[in-house]
Amino acid sequence: MKYIDGFREKDAALWLNRQIAQAGDQLAARGRTVHLMEVCGSHTMAVSRSGIRETLPSSIRLLSGPGCPVCVTDAGYVDAAIRMAEQGAIIVTFGDMVRVPGSHQSLADVRAQGGDVRICYSPADALRVAAENPGREVVFLAIGFETTAAPVTTLIPSARQADIRNLSLLTAFKRVPPALEALVADEEVQVDGFICPAHVSAIIGAEAYRPCVEGHHLPCTICGFEPLDILYGIVDLAEQLVSGRAELVNQYSRVVRPGGNPAALQLFEKYLTVCDASWRGIGTIPDSGMAIRGEFVDMDAARRFGVSTEGGRPDPGCRCGDVLKGKIIPPDCPHFGHACTPPHPVGPCMVSSEGSCAAFYRYGGGR
Amino acid sequence: MCLAVPMILVEKCSPAAGVVEMEGTRCGVDLSLTPDATVGDYLVVHAGFAIERLDRDEADARLQLFADMADLQRKAGQ
């Protein structure tokens, strides 16, 4: 299919590599090494799978950011879901969440002990489970960035229309732009430009990054997930840094519009409210979350069960927080590949298929 | 996980439900986030929902740009 193969063409990739090398030489001649952060977990996986990291000159480095939704979900959130399962609720979740370690155990452990934890493909599956089990509480684990928050939020009006009252959402939605602001403000984090997420941007729109670009003089480029998309994004950011420019560039205009997806944004406006959110390994970031708005709070699982998502204690040796902030790359963590592997993950970045540690473990790429 | 692969809308069963296809594989899709989608559109599908339509003019322009780069690379390599 041309909309796939055309974005993986080898000669174009070699041409883009040549442009990257030229920009890299110019940066190196000035004694500069620049750090570009790919914020999205799917970009991290695409970069690792295509081997892009290994083709870059030493003056251009790629860092993985906090863009894997499972990875940034707090241990306390997992603990709360486990308590709900222990109280007899049916937990419906995307597959990645099942093996994420909480403070003491994971949902997979709870399921092995007889807990009712069901993996779904679409949030709409939760409606079906709730309709089929009218005598039981059904909790959907509503995690994710704006891309996932939009489909999940449709559950609120859908449940009301179908008069399904035994379904609730345990929300831990995350918003990307405030996380970028927090990373830029962290003096320990070195970022010179962002490769902005593709499908988050489809929901929130390209203009959502304008404050970051103009407020911090930081180049931001929105890229698709294909290898040529990512290489061209790196060319753009490197050339901006060579010339001292900081611009917002939408390289994924075939999907991302300046103002985003109006239907999704209307859903957020009607059913959700912006709140502070706790990011695993990073801490609380102001305005970086979305919770259920007051009129619809009867669908908030934390409230319905009287369970808090705070106070989780992840493994003290886990350095996922430093990986998520781009302070280290996964091979720098002492657990990586030893105590922490995909079959036996210590931290969430090794669990999710989008996690940086899982990507490095599977495809290599340490430098 | 975000899927980069656009899928073509082959059937619209109701204003908010349709069927998408990619290389012979068909599956249901919720269209409530893309109410203007019509049969023949390429859609970006995430968690069973179409989250945006692919703009074919933009996609074709970008493909042409990459094709031009490939030509430059081949000429430079000769």
Kindly indicate the confidence band of residue A325, based on its pLDDT and cuts at 50, 70 and 90: confident
Give the mean pLDDT of A62-76.
Answer: 89
Q: Identify whether the C-beta of residue B49 lies closer than 8 Å to the C-beta of residue A122.
A: yes
Per-residue buried b or exposed e for B32-70, using 16+ beta carbons within 10 Å of the residue's own CB: bbbeebeeebbbbbbbbbbbbbbbeebbeebbeebeebb
Distance from CA of A117 to the nearest CA of B (A): 18
Which of A45-49, A140-144, B10-14 has the least mean pLDDT? A45-49
Residue B10's pLDDT is what?
Answer: 97
Do residues A93 and A168 both lie within one domain?
yes
Which of A122-126, A139-143, A335-339, A344-348 has the least mean pLDDT? A344-348
If you measure CA to CA, which chain B residue comes closest to A226? B4
pLDDT, tens only, A274-306: 999 999 888 899 999 999 999 999 999 999 999
Residue A354's pLDDT is what?
Answer: 80
**Paired strand residues for A284:** A278
Interface test with B, best of A1, A3, A200 (most B CBs within 10 A): A3
Residue A150's pLDDT is what?
Answer: 97
Does A324 score more than 90 pLDDT? no
Interface contact B17, partner A, CB < 8 A: no
CA atoms within 13 A on the CB side of B8: 13
- Candidate from B42, B54, B70 with C-beta closest to A11: B70
Do residues A90 and A235 both lie within one domain?
no
Residues whose CB falls within 8 Å of the CB of residue A36, separated by 6 or more in sequence, listed in order: A60, A61, A62, A63, A191, A192, A193, A194, A195, A234, A237, A238
Give the CATH number, domain containing residue A234.
3.40.50.11750
Q: Is residue A237 part of a domain?
A: yes
Distance from CA of A215 to the nearest CA of B (A): 29
Helix (H, G, I), strand (E, B) or coil at A147: helix
Helix (H, G, I), strand (E, B) or coil at A316: coil
Residue finishing a domain among A271, A289, A305: A305
- Judged by CB atoms closer than 8 Å, whether chains meet at A12 and B73 is answered as yes
Helix (H, G, I), strand (E, B) or coil at B40: coil
Does B1 score more than 60 pLDDT? no
Residue B77's pLDDT is what?
Answer: 80
- Candidate from B44, B54, B70 with C-beta closest to A15: B70
**Strands across the sheet containing A283-292:** A117-119, A90-93, A138-144, A167-174, A283-292, A272-279
Do residues A148 and A234 both lie within one domain?
no
Sort out which chain B residues have CB atoms less than 8 A from A154's CB and list them: 30, 32-33, 49
**Antiparallel, parallel or unpaired: β A167-174 and A220-222:** unpaired
A314's tokens: 């992840």
If you measure CA to CA, which chain A residue comes closest to B70? A12
E-strand stretches of chain A: 34-38, 60-64, 90-93, 117-119, 138-144, 167-174, 193-196, 220-222, 248-250, 272-279, 283-292
Interface contact B39, partner A, CB < 8 A: no
CA atoms within 13 A on the CB side of A179: 32
Kindly indicate the confidence band of residue B3, based on its pLDDT and cuts at 50, 70 and 90: low
Do residues A272 and A169 both lie within one domain?
yes
Kindly indicate the confidence band of residue B2, based on its pLDDT and cuts at 50, 70 and 90: low
Does A365 score more than 70 pLDDT? no
Q: Is residue A8 part of a domain?
A: yes
A48 to each of A61, A87, A94, A354, B46, how far by Cα in Å?
A: 13, 41, 23, 10, 21
Do residues A80 and A151 both lie within one domain?
yes
Compute how many other C-beta atoms are within 10 angstroms of the C-beta atom of residue A197: 30
Query: Chain centroid to CA A221: how far?
Result: 17
Does A367 score more than 50 pLDDT? no
CATH of span B5-76: 2.30.30.140
Do residues A104 and A90 both lie within one domain?
yes
Sort out which chain A residues have CB atoms less than 8 A from B47's CB and list them: 94, 121-123, 148, 151-152
* Domain assignment of residue A293, given as a range: 75-175+260-305
Distance from CA of B30 to the nearest CA of A (A): 9
Residue A321's pLDDT is what?
Answer: 87
Do residues A111 and A189 both lie within one domain?
no
If you measure CA to CA, which chain B residue comes closest to A253? B58
Do residues A169 and A182 both lie within one domain?
no
- The contacts found for A103-109 with CB under 8 angstroms, 24 or more apart, are A103/A75, A103/A76, A103/A78, A103/A79, A103/A312, A103/A313, A103/A314, A104/A79, A106/A78, A107/A78, A107/A81, A107/A82
pLDDT, tens only, B15-50: 999 999 988 899 999 999 999 999 999 999 999 999
Q: Identify whether the C-beta of residue A98 lies closer than 8 Å to the C-beta of residue A108.
A: yes
- Candidate from A12, A121, A253 with C-beta closest to B70: A12
Q: Identify whether the C-beta of residue A140 lies closer than 8 Å to the C-beta of residue A155.
A: yes
Give the mean pLDDT of A123-134.
Answer: 96
- Judged by CB atoms closer than 8 Å, whether chains meet at A150 and B33 is answered as yes
Sort out which chain B residues have CB atoms less than 8 A from A10's CB and list them: 70
Residues whose CB falls within 8 Å of the CB of residue A215, separated by 6 or more in sequence, listed in order: A181
Distance from CA of A245 to the nearest CA of B (A): 23
- Judged by CB atoms closer than 8 Å, whether chains meet at A254 and B55 is answered as yes
Do residues A9 and A121 both lie within one domain?
no
Do residues A20 and A155 both lie within one domain?
no
Contacting A residues, span 119-138, partner chain B, CB-CB under 8 Å: 121-124
Residue B59's pLDDT is what?
Answer: 95
Interface contact A40, partner B, CB < 8 A: yes
Q: Is residue A354 part of a domain?
A: no
Q: What is the CA radius of gyration of chain B?
A: 16
* Owner of token pair 């239907």: A263
Q: Is residue A120 part of a domain?
A: yes
Sort out which chain B residues have CB atoms less than 8 A from A11's CB and list them: 69-71, 73-74
Interface contact B75, partner A, CB < 8 A: no
Provide the residue type at A237 as one letter. L
Q: What is the CA radius of gyration of chain A?
A: 21
Q: Is residue A93 part of a domain?
A: yes
Instruction: Determine the Cα–Cα distance for residues A306 and A273; give it in Å rounded to an integer.
Output: 20
Do residues A171 and A264 both lie within one domain?
yes
Do residues A208 and A86 both lie within one domain?
no
Q: How many domains does chain A divide into?
A: 2
